[in-house]
Amino acid sequence: MKKTVNTFKQAKENGEKLTMLTAYDYSTAKLIDEAGIDAILVGDSLGMVCLGYPDTLSVTMEDMIHHTKAVTRGAKEAFVVADMPFMSYQTSVYDAVVNAGRLIKEGHAHAVKLEGGMEVCEQIRAIVKASIPVCAHIGLTPQSVNAFGGFSVQGKGEEAAKRLIEEAKAVEEAGAFAVVLECVPEALATLITQQISIPTIGIGAGAGCDGQVLVYQDMLGLYSDFVPKFVKQFKKLDSEMKDGFRAYREEVRAGLFPAKEHTFKIDETVLNKLY
């Protein structure tokens, strides 16, 4: 059944866990969709895991639209959320609405996600007013890596923890349908989950959240530049892939591939006329 914003609402009401994974292309989106995952996030993590940048800051609207289009073609039932890249919504409320609209009109996403709490509530309100569902994202917000001075756990001290609770309540009040909590202590994430009525989607925020999200390359062991503590590698596909690439190299060098079954025939009479 097609997943919608109502899937998120009902899951929270019924205490059912939501599942979300990232994808950036058609064939991966199709596999994730067929596996029954509720939602696919076209994350700006694209910049790191697909494009090889050290952070997410260089990702553009064009990058996001290009990859969102591919994902939405592969997702038949999953709810597709597209990330708003750095500087596509911070600059003004007008930019936020225009760029959110592009991800829906051109990328065919069902919702957008943006990072930040109180400081982006005006943008969330305006995008929601334009009938575009918004997923908020608080805690470790990677687009603020330079302001944070690195990727670190957020909300550990009393002030910071209280602030995070206020941020969660503010984005809910602004109209977000869900909020991602990234790198937040488990007990704090659980408390936030109990204090708001929209679902919390955790990444590095423990089991008390209403749902979980992971970057698919992380959970399949395909990205080894940096493996955060919160990642579980459900498969180790990096070695499987390298084995496949090596086997191909060996068979081509040994003349074993392509074999007869991989080739096409031509009629002998036609062939004879070519000599």
Residue with smaller CB distance to ligand KIV, 94 or 99: 99
Query: Shortest approach of ligand KIV to residue 214 CB, angstroms?
Result: 8
| Measured distance CA(110)–CA(162) in Å, rounded | 32
Query: Shortest approach of ligand KIV to residue 48 CB, angstroms?
Result: 8
Residue with smaller CB distance to ligand KIV, 161 or 215: 215
| Measured distance CA(244)–CA(77) in Å, rounded | 31
Nearest to 54 by CA among 146, 178, 116, 132: 146
Q: Is 34 a catalytic residue?
A: no
Residue with smaller CB distance to ligand KIV, 45 or 99: 45
Name the residue with the smallest CB distance to ligand KIV. Answer: 43
Query: Shortest approach of ligand KIV to residue 82 CB, angstroms?
Result: 10
Return residues touching ligand KIV (CB under 6 A): 22, 41, 43-45, 83, 137, 180, 182, 203, 213, 215
- Given 167, 182, 250, 251, the catalytic residue: 182
Residue with smaller CB distance to ligand KIV, 49 or 132: 49
- Give the containing element (helix H, strand E) for 170: helix 158-174
Q: Contact 167/155 with Cβ under 8 angstroms?
A: no
Q: Taking each helix axis as running N to C, give the angle between helix 121-129 and helix 93-105, from 0 to 180 degrees, rounded to the nearest 10.
A: 50
Query: Shortest approach of ligand KIV to residue 135 CB, angstroms?
Result: 9
| Measured distance CA(166)–CA(146) in Å, rounded | 23
Measured torsion, CA atoms of residues 37, 39, 44, 46, in degrees rounded to the nearest 10: 30
Residues serving a catalytic function are 182
